[in-house]
Structure 1
Amino acid sequence: MFLLLWLTCFVVLPAQLATDPDIFAPKQPDAFMRLERVNTLVETGNWYDGHIARAAGAEGADIHWTRPMDLLILGVAAPLVPFMQTRQAIEIAGVALPALMSLILVFVCIWAVMPLMQPGNLFSIVILLAVQPIIQNYFGIGRVDHHMVLAVLTAAVLGYLIRLDKSGSNSRPALLAGILTGLGIWISLEFLVVYVPVTLGLGVCWLLWGTSWRRINRDFALGVGLACLAAVLVDVSPDNWLTARYDRISIAQLFLVSCPAVFWILVAKTSECGGTITARMVGAGLFAIVCLALIKFWYPGLFIGPEAEADPRIAAIWYDNVSEMLPLFTSIRKMILFCLLPFCGIVYGLFVLSGKRHQEQRHTWVLLSLVLVCTGALALAHMRTALYLSVAGVIAAGPLMEDVLNAVSARFSGWRKGATGLLVRAVIILGPFSLAVLVGAFANGLKPAAATTVTQAAETECTVRDIAGFLADDKFIQGRGVLRFANNLDYGPELIYRTRHHFLAVPYHRNGETILDTYDLMTAVEFSRSRDLLGKYGIDYILICPNASDETYFRKSAEASVLYNRLVNGDLPEELVPVEAAPKPWMLFEYRGNAM
């Protein structure tokens, strides 16, 4: 039954509802750049170099990703390689991987909540996962994105934490939870949003319940530390082992996760000598102050995060326009959609912690509640974090539903019991979505009648396959080899993947100079400024999609003299010549200034 539910909810229905006619193709810029990165690894064998040669400036685009996701794609592609070209096998593996990971997520979440739910109610977990919009987004077919792996790891870590042995005699769940947490940090430092509340939660359990939790904390911290040490040794070139980076695993993050390990191995036992919560709090507080001071002195960028590696000037022209980077609190509808179910989990957790029922689960709800509170607070400021909030929210909603259904069973019998149970499931599963729709409709209000009579013709979308085929044609290349293009930011990765040309703009924060220069080039009022930048990068063509989602990056002004507006309006400088044969609505302009 679980397989059928998964197939229906994560494959068949999304495929039927998809508006993209080419559903079984890579989606989103990151998917194309990830596949290009894997192809580059296969072609060059250069494990440590994360640059994409045909992107950004002369040295290529510096991509901060790590290798586990690349290896996962190669592992899925390996059985296909004997039957097709390696590049094709890698693409098929990437497209299919989200569906495979969604199946794994379903079974991991079911496994995670098994100690808290009756087997007959576990099917509800599949439906709860399926109605979370952010989970459907990140696990959509063709979206080759490491965040889906992080979601699975979140569920696995929480599952092991639910299985912790309070006596401390069995260290396996804590150690495995730590290793998986370290693997998540290796894949992306974004997983620190799970690591931090889990570490705090385990520390709170030690403060409340004493010595038996010291070993659990120690084993978890050792698991994280060993996994991060392995990550540095494997994923970082030896000459950079002592170089701190703040957007990928490095010595800085290894130091961060080592601090709790040192505390639990060397300091915690001393703090227990007083035998009171106060003594333990004093010991932990003093050690935390020392660690924070050392981090401030040696690795201050840890307090900033990945943005420490980015040029702060790109925030206003790029970050602030990316939907995943925006806060949730600006939209009541989205807050309900993403946060209502986790909030119910927090309330239920407080009920368990403050009541006399389920006392054997108190440590579970200390941990789950802290994860929900921390990821929820971050999601309000940064929408992407809602992925981890949704996974934790589903796991927390399982026992909540179980308790309510048990209360229904005790109160009703016969058809009333079945009908009420169905209503409870419907409210918990569909309630947030239904309420969000109602609130959205109320907030938007009814459109004026006059507005409904005005229709705009849908703009033709720019299809990269069309322009890529044109750019790859020998009639266009005419033996000139690799050509250089200035382009819309979000189209860069797919254009690089589908052609053999070089594209200036790609949406990755380490490449701030080329993002800024592309912005300056497109928004320049004086063409002399654009000319300088075109010459700096040896640009042969400017390629734009006039209805691209990222046009707002360049169209900051309606002033006719802005180059982007001049290109769209056909008011061209003499050095730019339109290529009329380019497929519409793409607009391609040859720059002849380099030949003058």
Structure 2
Amino acid sequence: MIFTADHFDRHWRLLVTFFWLATAAAFVWARWQYIGWFALGDTDDNLRMMEARALLAGQGWFDLRQYRLDPPYGADIHWSRLVDLPLAGLMLLFRLFMSGAEAEKVAVAVAPMLPMGVAMASLAILCRRLIAPTAYIFALLLLLYAHSAKSMWLPLRIDHHGWQLAMLSLVLLGLTDRKRARGGAVTGIATALSLSIGLEMLIYLAVAGAATALMWIRDAGQARRLAAYGASLAGGTTLGYLIFASDANRAPVCDALSPVWLSVMAAAGALAVLLAWLRLGRPLLRLAAAALAGALLAGGFALAWPDCVSRPEGVSPELYKMWLSHVREARPIYTHSWQTIVNGLALPVAGLIGYGVTIWRLRRDEAALTPWAAIALSALIAVALLFWQTRATPAAQLLAIPGAAALAWMVVGRAWSIPNLALRAVAVLVAFLLISGIAVQWVVRAFPEPTSAGAKAVSAANAKCPTLAALRPIALRPKGYVLTHVDLGPRLITVTHHDAVAGPYHRNGDAILDVMQAFRGSADNAHAIVARRGIDYVLICPNLSESTIYRSRAPQGFYVQLSRGQVPDWLEPIALPKNSPYRMWRVVRR
């Protein structure tokens, strides 16, 4: 069979390390120009840089407010300092050898490689445990074609999503560990770290906890796993809250590790330890005890924190209608183009097929079946979540890799047994192309989405407006407070000295609504908002994605008037280069 040479088994650590370093080098090479341009493309990446800068400049450890947004109050950011640490540490390290600006560029290139290494190592170990000693090769190759997951580790992707995927891979590693106490501890600690970063993986983490309990229900000998999980979950979450929770997260908020989720996780951990301590001989008794514990946990949560039973963002109906409902990644996958649907589902579907075939083959081997069932359940739920929000795609692809690797191991193994060398090579290649989704991606590229002139203009604006070259003339203006697009706010404060009203962060609903109402309302309404906030400049980038909402929802609004050249007398035009994608005005105070 392919990849069964002894050295692939004996030297797997070295090979995984080499694969990680080679992949990192290839990513840096491919993104070299973007690194040089400091092209932090996502709003979260820009704000993460501002958070790390603020920490190094002396802002308090527990103060996560971003004072360059919505000054003088600052924007309340629901993150924690955990992800700031590696980025800030790299910035400090590289400042020993180069200028501050160059150190930042190197740091944003290197930082995403760290969680990628964690995920690669975890998936390699998992596949060695469950499939075969050399099956990790398939896991690593498949990860390169999990485009949504892989994109979270590309250079410049310094936000928290890459680290959360890494923690999810550690959770899977813990679930599949044959050393029960160690496995439970790994699952519990990785869960606590993930929650300290953010709540985006909460559903998958809850499934992992339920899977740990189900292992104990099936086999009382799993009590050590359950106890270790409960103790590490409660202890780790408590430490995560004490060390990393911001001042704002000390309040009972629903969208971060706060007293709400600390109490839930502490109670869940205590109940897990209690269940493991009970000596219940029959599976039905263990099932009843676990069901009672789950009911107590859910009921206590609903009674103690009723405001957190609904969406954790807790935004107002007006903010949801004007802003959050238009966020593309918050829409179900079936609302997107068929190309997006196929690209997003190809690997997860292959993973589900692999899980199904593997579980069927192991149906009479309960010991081998249990870990496969645990991770298959997580993968299945991830696919289901895609029909709620497309943002589940990276996690769904990551969770699919063990199943897809098992399927590749079986299918490629069969193909490798074909006597004819040419047919064998073709069969192996076709099998991998189908399972990895590469063939599907080729089909999608062959039939690209039709692009209208309007869509091309939007793509051009999205590409040009955030660049250093485009923002340099803006940065040369005297420092001021700028009314601009919500999605442009984090980039503006990162690469210029100006302040902005808002960024796309749900806790700052009033600031976001001010921007929305200013650009979608009348010029007089915008003037009132500008005067109340003490705005110095108005800045727009015509055809930026966000502006299409203003145009479609308010065809006579302030933004549309500005884009047509209908400028009120309280704005004075600022001369920008002819090739600038921006239009900028100074507020005239009379």
Pairwise TM-score range, normalised by the shorter structure: 0.7 to 0.9
SS in 1 for 2:482: strand
> 2:271 aligns to what?
263
* 1:536-567 deviation per Cα after TM superposition (whole angstroms, max 9, x unaligned): 100111000002121124223463x4211111
Task: State how far apart, in whole Å, the 2-side matches of 1:155 and 1:276 are.
Answer: 32
Q: Which of 405, 408, 416 is equivalent to 2:412?
A: 405
Q: For residues 562 and 249 of structure 2, what CA distance do their matches in structure 1 show?
A: 44
Partner in structure 2 of residue 517 of structure 1 = 514
Partner of residue 232, structure 1: 241
Give the equivalent residue in structure 1 for 2:252: 244
2:323 counterpart residue number: 318
Contact 1:244–1:252 (CA under 8 A) maintained in structure 2: yes
Structure 1 stretch displaced more, 291-300 or 84-93: 84-93
> Could you list the per-position Cα deviations for residues 257-285 of structure 1 after superposition, in whole angstroms to 9, with x for gaps in the alignment?
22332223224555x63x43332232222
Does the 8 A contact of 2:348 with 2:397 survive in 1? yes
Q: Structure 1 411/441 Cα, relative in aligned 2: closer, same or farther at 3 Å?
A: closer
Instruction: Give, as a single letter, the amino acid of the residue that structure 1 aligns with 2:499.
Output: H
Corresponding residue number in structure 2 for 1:59:
73
Secondary structure of 1:225's aligned partner: helix
Identity score, percent: 22
Specify the code of the residue in structure 1 equivalent to 2:274.
L
Native 8 Å contact 1:318 1:553 kept in 2:
no
- What's 2:42 paired with? 28
From 486, 489, 493, give the equivalent of 2:490: 493
- Report if the CA contact (8 A) 1:336-1:435 is conserved: yes
Q: For the structure 1 residues 53 and 457, does the alpha-carbon distance in structure 2 shift closer, same or farther, using more than 3 Å as the test?
A: closer
Q: How far did 1:589 drift?
A: 1.1
Q: Could you tell which deviates more after superposition, 181-190 or 295-304? A: 295-304
Please name the residue that 1:574 is paired with: 569
Q: Is the 8 A contact 1:175 1:220 kept in 2?
A: yes
- Cross-structure match for 1:392: 399
Q: How does 1:129-148 map to 2 (within 5 A)?
A: 129-148=143-162
The one of 176, 185, 188 equivalent to 2:186 is: 176
- Judge which range, 67-76 or 258-267, deviates more: 258-267
Query: Which residue in the other structure is 2:205 paired with?
Result: 195
Matched residue count: 569
Give the alignment of 1:176-575 within 5 angstroms. 176-207=186-217, 209-236=218-245, 241=250, 243-267=251-275, 270=278, 273=280, 275-308=281-314, 310-331=315-336, 332-356=338-362, 359=365, 360-408=367-415, 412=419, 416-429=423-436, 432-435=437-440, 438=443, 461-473=464-476, 476-477=477-478, 482-525=479-522, 527-557=523-553, 559=555, 561-575=556-570
Distance of aligned partners of 1:228 and 1:312 in 2 relative to their CA distance in 1, 3 Å threshold? farther
Alignment check: 8 A CA contact 2:484 2:540 kept: yes
Alignment partner of 1:542: what SS?
strand
Q: Give the C-alpha shift of residue 177 in structure 1.
A: 2.0
Find the residue that maps to 1:329 and give its secondary structure. Answer: helix
Task: Please list every run of 5 or more consecutive structure 2 residues that lacks an aligned counterpart in the other structure.
Answer: 1-14
Distance 1:19 1:556 in 2: 35
Q: In structure 1, how many angstroms separate the alpha carbons of the residues matched to 2:420 and 2:48? A: 55
Does the CA contact (< 8 Å) of 1:203 and 1:217 recur in 2? yes
| Cα deviations by residue, 1:155-186 (Å, 9 ceiling, x for unpaired) | 22212322233xxxx41121122111110111
- What CA RMSD, in Å, does the superposition of the two structures yield over aligned residues? 3.1
Deviation at 1:87, TM superposition (A): 5.7
TM-score scaled to structure 1, two decimals?
Answer: 0.87
CA distance in 1, matches of 2:274, 2:474: 63
Aligned ranges for residues 9-88 of structure 1 at < 5 Å? 11-12=25-26, 16=30, 25-86=39-100, 88=102
Q: 1:410 deviation in Å?
A: 5.6
